[in-house]
Structure 1
Amino acid sequence: AVDLIGNLRAAPRIALDVGGGAAFKVAPQLFKRLGCKVKTINEKPGEASRGPDPTYDRLQDLVRASKKSDIGFAFDLDGDRLVVVKDGRKQAPDVTLGLGIAKVLEMRYKKIVLSIDTSVAIEKFIREEGGRVKRSKVGEANVVDLMIKTNSQAGGEGSSAGFILPKFNMCRDGLLTSGLIASMVGTRQFNEIVRFMEGYFQLRSKVNVDSRFHKKTMKILLKKMERQFSEIITTDGVKSIIDEDSWALVRQSNTEHVIRISVESNNLNKVKSIKKQVSKLVKKSYEEARRSRNY
């Protein structure tokens, strides 16, 4: 990891929230070896002041510590996922992936796989830098599978804050990702990608749907969305491309009685409007599916 990360600028101050998990020892060791000044939070194994998933937790202790550091990183319990906190602000999970991707683009890696629910901001950034993007189904295994099939050099899933670099490890690796991101702190590229991604807004919600009606509901929904939106993708669920900066994705859950909705746009009012519109379509489709009694 140290060889891939390279030299860090001016011994940055790093705040780490290891969440009492697997990274409790190796994360501080990595950054100390890189010459950083390290403050560690929740370093006692099995004990933590926050929940196990940093993508959902407010990370209040790390938010405070980041105000006196150059950057903060929060790991999940097995250390494969990572959330970035900068200047007292917790960044969205997609920012983790975006920063990792920005670093490998700097390393001249151009073939990248993103899950279908990853921010369009990352895809636009990749293309602007001369990279090529393939979209996979949601889920780390699906991202990795497409990376292998297309011989891609990097990939990830924005919603889970997971970045994958095959040269190091063919799965998400929060430790490597944190080091790569730390090497960018204070650079023009770091500030540019964060600023660019902060211009996009994502909303996620779910509609309660009896799983017996999932397939029928999605079939009805597909027809409704085809009538309302000009571009539809069915790689995983139903995704509508509304314009170059806006999309909506609807997927059935495999484990719960719900259908999930993800929406993104670079306009906050628009993303709210799209979510409302798509939620209504899902509910209407479910009502029709129930009336048909055809599973």
Structure 2
Amino acid sequence: MNIKFGTDGWRAKIAQDYTFENLEKVSLALAITLEEENSLNKTCVIGYDTRFFSEDFANHVAEVLSGVGFDVIISDNFIPTPTLAFSVKDKSCAVGIMITASHNPYNYNGFKIKQSFGGSASKEFTSKVESNLEKIKTYKFRNEKGKIKVQNLFENYKNSILKFVDINAIKESGIKVAIDCMNGAGSGYLSSLLSDLNIKVFPVRNKRDPYFKGSRPEPIPQLLGPLSYEVFSNSLNLGTALDGDGDRVASCDASGTIFTSQQTYVLLLNHLVTSRKLKGKVLKNFAVSVLVDKLCKLYDIEFEILPVGFKYICSKMISEGNVLMGGEESGGFGFLGHIPDRDGFLSSLYLIESVVMSKKSLMEQLDEIYDKVGFFEYDRYDLKLETSVEEVRKKIRDLIENPAKKIGEKKVSEISTIDGIKYILEDESWLLIRPSGTEPLVRIYAEGKSIHEAKALIGFGRKLFQ
């Protein structure tokens, strides 16, 4: 098969392309890549999520890497991806591997690589891994065998993230919170962490279920009905949800309203600036709300727009250092002083702390933000096409070369091509169309002054491919 790394790792269907044989190939290609970089550090840490066979796949990778001289630390249980990313730095390892397919359906699994800095592998690095797949039959590894150790990885990670919030204020608040781990890798961990802070926790989908109760572990409004019901029916202060591997977050107001990831982004940013008084540059990807731009301008904060994929944010967090926050439209956020990677656990803690410190609900905080910078609604649609990946890319190129000058009655004031094509309209609403890198699918994003406007923009984008 053609093993390709997407925006964050390689993913495939279990027993179809995601097999023990292909996992061995990817693991050996990774080992070759590390050796070619002349790394004297031959240590690796491995984690895994709650999917079918994840523990078996992780143990197989450990055996393969130890067989070519790597000392391997493997988690004693399923863990969230942020725990694995933190452990790479905490254990001073050359690389970390997370066996997970994140928010994909139950019949998928994946292979995420975290480099020594504790963040997603760069495009350059994963490209080398892909090309080294051709070398695994002829490459001469050293004739040595490494050790495999099984360790608890969560405890050190937990102690680290608790340093970022006011533990005493949270403990004394009496706050009540629902958490929905969607039967993924956060199950049991987040509820335990919050209970230790004297929070009354109302857990939802908080046990391992490789089938994810027939759904998929993606924290988007249409899949978070159980969280909304739990918050509203028990008169709780708020709720948070994690995706399948715990690196993305969604938020729920006391009213039971599930916020979009865009709204969650501005809530977190506003809290860090107004309540925590933190400073630094803000990073966002190409599909993130204009509300972030407007909030940054209001607070006189430098911000930068990057292509879709947290690895681009990760790279900037490392190279520039003083990055207050980086975020993407899918609900993944990274923070100053922590690992340069997404963390749904720390995001949840900050959301809880925002309610405690401001003494306002999430909705009240959001309404205040709207009063300051204006109101926008966001929507997204993934359009599957009966064509090839290359034909999709060709169509995007055609759109870039011949861009629309008007959408409906509104003039297009700017075209941006950082990642796909983005039409920015005269009233600051926008439409983004970008191709999937691995399948014949177009992702269409839009933001308007109302949900009706956002959906109309999505409709315009869909018609371009009819």
TM-score interval for Structure 1 and Structure 2 normalised by the shorter chain: 0.7 to 0.9
C-alpha deviation, 1:21, in angstroms:
2.2
C-alpha deviation, 1:54, in angstroms:
1.9
**Letter of the aligned partner of 1:156 in structure 2?**
G
Q: In percent, how many aligned pairs have the same letter?
A: 24
TM-score normalised by length of structure 1: 0.86
CA gap of 1:10–1:75, structure 2 versus 1, over 3 A, is: same
Q: Which residue of 1 aligns with 2:338?
A: 168
Q: Which residue of 2 aligns with 1:116?
A: 286
Q: Which residue of 2 aligns with 1:201?
A: 377
CA gap of 1:88–1:268, structure 2 versus 1, over 3 A, is: closer
Q: Kindly indicate whether the alpha-carbon contact (under 8 Å) linking 1:164 and 1:170 is maintained by their aligned counterparts in 2.
A: yes
Aligned equivalent of 1:53, options 210, 218, 229: 218
Q: Which residue of 2 aligns with 1:30?
A: 193
C-alpha deviation, 1:56, in angstroms:
5.9
CA gap of 1:21–1:277, structure 2 versus 1, over 3 A, is: closer
SS at match of 2:183: coil
Distance 1:26 1:119 in 2: 31
C-alpha deviation, 1:194, in angstroms:
2.3
Distance 2:192 2:434 in 1: 40
**Letter of the aligned partner of 1:52 in structure 2?**
P
Q: Kindly indicate whether the alpha-carbon contact (under 8 Å) linking 1:224 and 1:281 is maintained by their aligned counterparts in 2.
A: no
Aligned equivalent of 1:96, options 247, 258, 264: 264
**Letter of the aligned partner of 1:279 in structure 2?**
R
Aligned equivalent of 1:142, options 304, 312, 321: 312
List runs of 5+ in structure 2 lacking aligned partners. 1-160, 407-411
Q: Which residue of 2 aligns with 1:44?
A: 207
Deviations 1:151-208 (A, max 9, x none): 32211102x1111014122111111110111011163594455234693222222262
Q: Which residue of 2 aligns with 1:20?
A: 183
Aligned residues: 282
TM-score normalised by length of structure 2: 0.56
Q: Which residue of 2 aligns with 1:153?
A: 324
Distance 1:207 1:27 in 2: 35
Determine if the alignment matches structure 1 residue 233 to structure 2 residue 411: no
C-alpha deviation, 1:80, in angstroms:
0.8
Q: Which residue of 2 aligns with 1:293?
A: none
Q: Kindly indicate whether the alpha-carbon contact (under 8 Å) linking 2:250 and 2:261 is maintained by their aligned counterparts in 1.
A: yes
Q: Kindly indicate whether the alpha-carbon contact (under 8 Å) linking 2:239 and 2:252 is maintained by their aligned counterparts in 1.
A: yes
List runs of 5+ in structure 1 lacking aligned partners. 284-295
Deviations 1:110-165 (A, max 9, x none): 3110011011112212221221210110011122123334432211102x111101
SS at match of 1:134: strand
CA gap of 1:20–1:140, structure 2 versus 1, over 3 A, is: same
Distance 2:190 2:458 in 1: 38
Q: Kindly indicate whether the alpha-carbon contact (under 8 Å) linking 2:420 and 2:435 is maintained by their aligned counterparts in 1.
A: yes
**Letter of the aligned partner of 1:59 in structure 2?**
L
Q: Which residue of 1 aligns with 2:393?
A: 215
CA gap of 1:112–1:254, structure 2 versus 1, over 3 A, is: same
Deviations 1:44-90 (A, max 9, x none): 22365453112265222211110121111111122111111122121
C-alpha deviation, 1:236, in angstroms:
0.8
SS at match of 1:125: helix
**Letter of the aligned partner of 2:174 in structure 1?**
A
Q: Kindly indicate whether the alpha-carbon contact (under 8 Å) linking 2:204 and 2:226 is maintained by their aligned counterparts in 1.
A: yes
CA gap of 1:277–1:53, structure 2 versus 1, over 3 A, is: closer
Distance 1:66 1:39 in 2: 8
Larger radius of gyration: 2
**Letter of the aligned partner of 2:337 in structure 1?**
K
Distance 1:11 1:46 in 2: 31
> RCO higher in 1 or 2 (8 Å CA, sep ≥ 6)?
1
C-alpha deviation, 1:282, in angstroms:
4.4
Determine if the alignment matches structure 1 residue 178 to structure 2 residue 348: yes
Q: Kindly indicate whether the alpha-carbon contact (under 8 Å) linking 1:115 and 1:135 is maintained by their aligned counterparts in 2.
A: yes
Aligned equivalent of 1:268, options 422, 429, 451: 451
**Letter of the aligned partner of 2:328 in structure 1?**
E
CA gap of 1:193–1:131, structure 2 versus 1, over 3 A, is: farther
Q: Kindly indicate whether the alpha-carbon contact (under 8 Å) linking 1:100 and 1:163 is maintained by their aligned counterparts in 2.
A: no
Distance 1:267 1:176 in 2: 31
Aligned equivalent of 2:402, options 212, 218, 224: 224
C-alpha deviation, 1:43, in angstroms:
2.3
**Letter of the aligned partner of 1:266 in structure 2?**
K
What is the root-mean-square deviation of aligned Cα atoms in Å? 2.4
Distance 1:272 1:89 in 2: 19
Q: Which residue of 1 aligns with 2:244?
A: 77
